């Protein structure tokens, strides 16, 4: 399971701690206990790691992915993501089963 997830982010357990932090970000987003404490750049990295494509227009960062109907629109609030947008990301991840880590 872990290997599949890390492969999606082009990381390896042997190359550093960035892979572990990505898993922690996913866990924090899915837990729902830290919506106001998720860094904007971490949420962007999570979405791109899950295969979303990012477009920027001004302060808006739009994320799209094939077979996902919703657009995800993120804006910074200082260095943090807005809590309602973290909830939106969590909803999309769970609705489409993106949190399921499959074995190769």
How confident is the model over 2-54, as pLDDT tens digits?
A: 445 544 444 433 344 556 677 889 999 999 999 999 999 999 999 998 999 99
- Does residue 104 lie within any of the structural domains? no
Say which residue, 101 or 103, is predicted with more confidence: 101
- Does residue 31 lie within any of the structural domains? yes
Q: How do residues 41-96 score in pLDDT, each as one tens digit?
A: 999 999 998 999 999 989 999 999 999 999 999 999 999 999 999 999 999 999 99
- Does residue 103 lie within any of the structural domains? no
The helix/strand/coil state of 7 is helix
The reported pTM is 0.77
Query: Which are the contacts of 101, defined by CB distance < 8 A and separation ≥ 6?
Result: 1, 2, 4, 5
Query: Which are the contacts of 3, defined by CB distance < 8 A and separation ≥ 6?
Result: 103, 104
pLDDT at 23 (0 to 100): 83
Rg (CA), the chain: 13
Full strand arrangement of the beta sheet holding 60-64: 53-57, 60-64, 72-74
Query: What is the tally of structural domains in the chain?
Result: 1
pLDDT at 19 (0 to 100): 61
Residue-range definition of the domain harbouring residue 47: 2-95
pLDDT at 6 (0 to 100): 44
- Does residue 67 lie within any of the structural domains? yes
Helices (H), the chain: 2-8, 18-31, 40-49, 83-95
- Does residue 100 lie within any of the structural domains? no
- Does residue 37 lie within any of the structural domains? yes
- Does residue 75 lie within any of the structural domains? yes
- HSE of 34, CA atoms in CB hemisphere, 13 A: 15
Query: Looking at the DSSP assignment, which residues form a beta bridge with residue 72?
Result: 63
């Amino acid at each position: 399971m872990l290997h599949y997830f890390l492969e999606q982010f082009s990381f390896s357990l042997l190359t550093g701690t960035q892979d572990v932090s990505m898993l922690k970000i996913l866990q924090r987003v899915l837990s729902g206990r830290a919506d106001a404490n998720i860094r904007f750049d971490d949420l962007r990295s999570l979405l791109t790691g899950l295969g979303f494509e990012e477009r920027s227009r001004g302060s808006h960062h739009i994320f799209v992915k094939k077979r996902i109907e919703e657009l995800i629109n993120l804006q910074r609030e200082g260095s943090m993501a807005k809590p309602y947008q973290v909830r939106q990301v969590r909803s999309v991840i769970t609705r489409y089963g993106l949190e399921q880590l499959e074995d190769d």
